[in-house]
Chain A
Amino acid sequence: MGTLSAIRKHPKAKWIGVLLIVAALLALPFALAAVGTAWVRITNFAILFTMLSLGLNIVVGFAGLLDLGYIAFYAVGAYTYALLASPQFNIHWPWWAILPIGAAIACFFGILLGTPTLKLRGDYLAIVTLGFGEIIRIFLNNLSDPFNLTNGPKGIWSIDSVHFMGIHFGVPSHFAGLDFSGTIKYYYFLLAILVLVIVVNLRLQDSRIGRAWEAIREDELAARSMGINTRNMKLLAFAMGASFGGVAGGMFSAMQNFISPESFVLTQSVMVLSMVVLGGMGNVWGVILGAILLTFVPEVLRYTVQPVQNWLFGRSIIDPEVIRMLLFGLTMVVMMLFRPAGLLPSAVRKRELAVAEDVD
């Protein structure tokens, strides 16, 4: 303990810590690839879902507006990318043009959802946003006739991969004695975007805008009486959250090369919300932790449930998929009972919950 705290106090400790984390993150895909290439893919999805969770965190965590249809913005971003970089209309724009367009269109849809729901709170807002998410998905499913925009349930395929300074992200390459598979290249790309998203999140939270959101969450009437234009601030939260979703969606398209409405169902919205709540609404680091855990734990269970059963009983008694979901649900129940503010709660959220308990 003594040495540890002495190390912590060292002035350079912070920078050395940051360097170690950066080094670990850079080496991570190669370590994972050694275990199994599937894990690199899973890690990429963890990063995508972290981006989504951070976007939703702006709406739910910062501004306190419950959104159950968040995946719709992911869908909007994904389809924007797919339509502008695939044989569907034979348009092949570069990624750096499409990602901002996707963010802007998602942002527009965020305002579209936000405007009619400004006066709604809690349960009512949740139902409207849930409906919105479904509308988007159903549209994507049916916009194949009379004019074939989305290709309906069959989805869009052969979506272009990212090309960047002569690097083709769709195919493996060899560099400096290391094998960079497409997945590993995407890992670095996603990581770079994620760092940006985190910085934006942290800076927004600690700003005049972030304080206004906090005020609205705490007491909307008092916030208005202090001159905060709650309408604009709420729309801003929806718009910012949606744009993050749009960027993540675009990356999803580029990485998968194939998308269909099936990827944007309600359970995905619920999953992202669970990540935010489990990690700790309003706390950027908590939300990141939540997203990583909820992406990885089910995958780890997928690979362990079967062998453990075999080892215990000599055969597989229960379908692994069933146990996986059971454990998942159980974790959520236990979490909400014992750590309702999340794994890494935001200080303010924790206090809010404590007050709620005092009142009970």
Chain B
Amino acid sequence: MSTEPEPVPARAAPILEVERIGKRFGGLTALSDVTFTIGEGEIYGLIGPNGAGKTTLFNVLTGIYHQDEGTLRFRGAALREPTPDRIAKLGIARTFQNIRLFANLSALENVMIGRHVRTRAGVVGAILRDRRTRSEEAAIERRAHELLRYVGIARRANELARHLSYGDQRRLEIARALATDPRLLALDEPAAGMNATEKVELRKLLEAIRADGITLLIIEHDVRLVMGLCDRVLVLDYGRKIAEGVPKAIQKDPAVIAAYLGKPRAEAEA
């Protein structure tokens, strides 16, 4: 119905190029003709009403689903038949909307598992425990502690993941994802279930991650967080891109207000 929005070029060198992605489930079109580019070092927001296809897009990006149409390019190279583990190895890490930690393992172990993809010890090393394996093990543990400190839950290292508070679980998921040394970190509703203070801290954390040179892609419902944090925002509705641009412009976009925020302008600015 609305006119096709003009593509907004990314300012920095592109890290992720999504071109005309389409995904159907039976008769349902979850994504259709979605095109956008994320620049290196950006914080890129992905918003839209429930069922708009945000998580589907995430799942396509992280190799859980395969798109029916379109191409994905990460750091200049096309992603062909990606699987989640290959995607992680290439440098895209993610968190999940409905937290998927290894619930019965400690926080530390969760992060240590995240190091798997950047470490090498095999069966022989594990059995012989040679010097290289031992020093790698020590490095894994050191890095895991570092990351727990980084996201602010160092003191919870030995607690089981499922005994952590909701906010700490979300932080732990971020720490686990960071353990894979990602270039692009994709967060699916990182602020869900957090209170106002936790959200402020989360924002600081995400900004720190960006300052460390990691590009961020964020699905978020909290409008204030998205508008304050993101450099650019993409709006999906019924699997289609209806707007893309800087937060200020998005807030005033009539198509967005109609589709996503429903009614008055006052609410969009709340």
Interface, chain A (partner B; CB < 8 A): 199-200, 203-204, 207-212, 214-215, 218-219, 221-230, 236, 240, 348, 351-352, 355
Contact = CB atoms under 8 A, between A and B. Distances in A.
Nearest to A210: B126
A215 B64 contact: no
Most buried by B among A211, A222, A225, A228: A225
A236 B103 CA distance: 24
Given A208-B140, A219-B100, A221-B100, A227 B105 contact: no
Which 10 pairs of residues, A with B, have the shortest CB-CB distance? A227-B117, A227-B88, A207-B126, A224-B84, A218-B102, A222-B100, A351-B104, A208-B121, A225-B84, A215-B113
A212 B162 contact: no
B85 A352 contact: no
A119 to B, nearest CB: 13
A207 B127 CA distance: 9
A240 B137 CA distance: 21
Interface string B119-138: 10111011101000100110
Contacts of B129: 203
- Sort chain B's interface into a size bin: 35 or more
A340 to B, nearest CB: 15
Contacts of A228: 85, 113, 116-117
Interface of B: 62, 64, 83-85, 87-89, 93-94, 96, 100-105, 109, 112-119, 121-123, 125-127, 129, 133, 136-137, 140, 160, 162, 176-177, 179-180
Contact of A208 (B83, B85, B137, B176): B137
Most buried by B among A199, A204, A211, A236: A211
Binding site of A, secondary structure by majority: helix, strand, loop or mixed?
helix
B96 A211 contact: no
B162 A226 contact: no
A30 B65 CA distance: 63
Given A208-B121, A208-B140, A224-B84, A215 B100 contact: no
A348 B102 CA distance: 10
Contact of A225 (B88, B126, B160, B179): B88
A354 to B, nearest CB: 9
Contacts of B88: 224-227
B96 A222 contact: yes
Given A224-B83, A355-B162, A204 B123 contact: yes
Contacts of A208: 115-116, 119, 121, 126, 136-137, 140
Contact of A223 (B83, B113, B115, B136): B113
Contacts of B119: 208
5 contacts: A199-B127, A204-B123, A226-B117, A227-B117, A227-B180
Contact of B180 (A199, A203, A204, A226): A226
Contact of A221 (B64, B89, B109, B133): B64
B160 to A, nearest CB: 7
Contacts of B176: 226
Contacts of A209: 121-123, 126
A236 B105 contact: no
Given A204-B126, A209-B121, A222-B96, A352 B104 contact: yes
Contacts of B162: 355
Nearest to A207: B126
Most buried by B among A208, A214, A215, A224: A208
